Structure 1
């Protein structure tokens, strides 16, 4: 009995001594900006000190697609990569490339385009995103 208590105490001591103290990560305090102007270093509180700077307005709230700058009611323009956006003709061309015959646009809004047609004898609906390459949503 005494031997098992000793082994348990030893195991607990080894487990507690091997735990490393985990310090909070501070990797978000510094940003390295690499671009045509060279390499620049910016601290995270830059936008707190300069809220009206044009570079700070480009920060986007991840869940709402809105600017987190001073004017929160301004809706960010929806453009795809390189300033391009998928339109209905791009979606129809991609649907035809996927093998959908008699493709037609059924519904289109600012986020997606739905195309309906026939493939292998069955009616099919495909929804494309508005990003630059018309990604297939479902």
Structure 2
């Protein structure tokens, strides 16, 4: 009985602690971003924190499996999988935004080149270059 209670208590304590740390991290970053409306934490830092948390949970899960604490092992394994999924989603979103931004910039360059080429002809049918709008972050 005491080993089962220890197992359940460790599972609840560690899982709650990791979730609390993530919530505090996201809250602090949201508070930093709120006044300026700019991103203060670069994507690489966010990916590093998520990757480190996922690896740490996986290592803890392995250690608890060696110690014979099945509930704590399962909870740490689930948290490691969730953190890895969150890492994949964050990296995928950042990659999607980067690809979109690069496509937008290449379209602007292409339109500027066409406009400058049409200025050399002087046939009066040149359209002005597209005004550059700020890409949403």
Going by fraction, where is strand more abundant, 1 or 2? 1
Between structure 1 and structure 2, the one with the greater Rg is 1
TM-score normalised to the size of structure 1?
A: 0.24
* Relative contact order higher in (CA < 8 Å, ≥ 6 apart): 2
TM-score normalised to the size of structure 2?
A: 0.24
